[in-house]
């Protein structure tokens, strides 16, 4: 289905099931998608503005060079998919599940993610700006060459995840948990961790500046070959935490 330059406005699309289709080049404005299923489909060069997606799923499909602006996306699932060059701006995502998918060259701006789970996904060369994330879980995945700025995370669980060549700046973490995670060749500046648990995790060849940990735990974590400057620890536990070959400027309170 080649829909180059086709504009669809104020349409309600319900209970649609597609398999093996190509959807390309359409613009949808103020559309409602409910209970739609896309299997082994390719969705390319499409724009969605002020749309609502509820109880929809994409499995074994590709989503490329698409843009979502001011959309509400809830109770949706992406399984074994490839997302490339997708832009999501000023959108709300609630109760979303990503499984066994690859996410590359994507960008999220001014978005809210709630009750979302990401499992066994690879995220590469993505940009997240002014993103608010709450009550979410990330498992058995990784991020590489990603940039995250001015993000707020609350009650986020990250288990057995790897982060490489990533940059995190002006991040706020509250009641978050990182367990059995790895951070390598990355930098994190001006970040605050409050009531967080960073357990049995490894930080290697990283740079951190102006970090603060309040009422948190670093139990069982290992820091090596890293540079940490102007960092503060307040009421933070460091049981069995090791620091090897690091340049440190850490103040404990």
User: Which tens digit of pLDDT belongs to each residue from 225-234?
Assistant: 888 888 888 8
What is the spatial distance between Cα 172 and Cα 52, in angstroms, rounded to a whole number?
Answer: 29
How far apart CA 115 and CA 135 sit, in angstroms, is 5
Domain ranges for the chain = 1-130, 136-253
* Fold match between domain 1-130 and domain 136-253: yes
- Asked if the 136-253 domain carries CATH number 2.160.20, the reply is yes
**Exposure string (b/e) for 223-244, b if CB count within 10 Å is 16 or more?**
beebebeebebeebebeebebe
Bridge partners of 144? 124, 164
Give burial (CB, 10 Å; 0-12/13-18/19+) of 193.
Answer: buried
pLDDT, one tens digit per residue, over 79-89 is 999 999 999 99
pLDDT surpassing 60 at residue 4: no
Q: What percent of the chain has pLDDT over 90?
A: 79
CATH topology for 1-130 is Pectate Lyase C-like (2.160.20)
Confidence at 1, pLDDT banded by 50, 70, 90: very low
Q: Distance between CA 169 and CA 185 in Å, rounded?
A: 15
Tens digit of pLDDT for each residue in 173-194? 999 999 999 999 999 899 999 9
What 8-state DSSP symbol labels residue 95? S
Q: In angstroms, rounded to a whole number, what is the distance separating the alpha carbons of residues 67 and 86?
A: 6
Which of 50, 57, 44 shows the shortest CA–CA distance to 15?
57
Q: How many CB atoms lie within 10 A of CB 15?
A: 9
**Dihedral sign, Cα of residue 137, residue 123, residue 23, residue 69:** positive
């Amino acid at each position: 289905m080649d829909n180059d330059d086709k504009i669809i406005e104020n349409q309600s699309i319900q209970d649609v099931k597609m398999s093996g289709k190509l959807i390309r080049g359409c613009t949808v404005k103020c559309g409602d998608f409910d209970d739609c299923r896309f299997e082994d489909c390719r969705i390319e060069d499409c724009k969605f503005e002020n749309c609502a997606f509820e109880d929809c799923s994409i499995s074994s499909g590709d989503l490329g060079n698409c843009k979502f602006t001011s959309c509400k996306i809830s109770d949706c699932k992406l399984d074994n998919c490839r997302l490339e060059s997708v832009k999501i701006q000023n959108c709300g995502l609630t109760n979303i599940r990503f499984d066994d998918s690859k996410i590359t060259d994507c960008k999220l701006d001014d978005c809210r993610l709630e009750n979302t789970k990401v499992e066994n996904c690879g995220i590469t060369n993505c940009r997240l700006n002014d993103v608010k994330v709450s009550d979410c879980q990330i498992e058995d995945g990784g991020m590489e060459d990603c940039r995250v700025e001015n993000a707020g995370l609350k009650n986020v669980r990250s288990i057995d995840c790897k982060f490489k060549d990533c940059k995190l700046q002006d991040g706020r973490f509250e009641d978050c948990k990182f367990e059995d995670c790895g951070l390598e060749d990355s930098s994190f500046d001006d970040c605050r961790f409050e009531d967080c648990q960073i357990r049995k995790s490894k930080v290697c060849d990283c740079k951190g500046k102006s970090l603060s940990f309040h009422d948190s735990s670093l139990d069982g974590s290992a820091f090596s070959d890293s540079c940490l400057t102007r960092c503060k620890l307040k009421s933070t536990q460091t049981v069995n935490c090791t620091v090897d070959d690091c340049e440190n400027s850490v103040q404990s309170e």
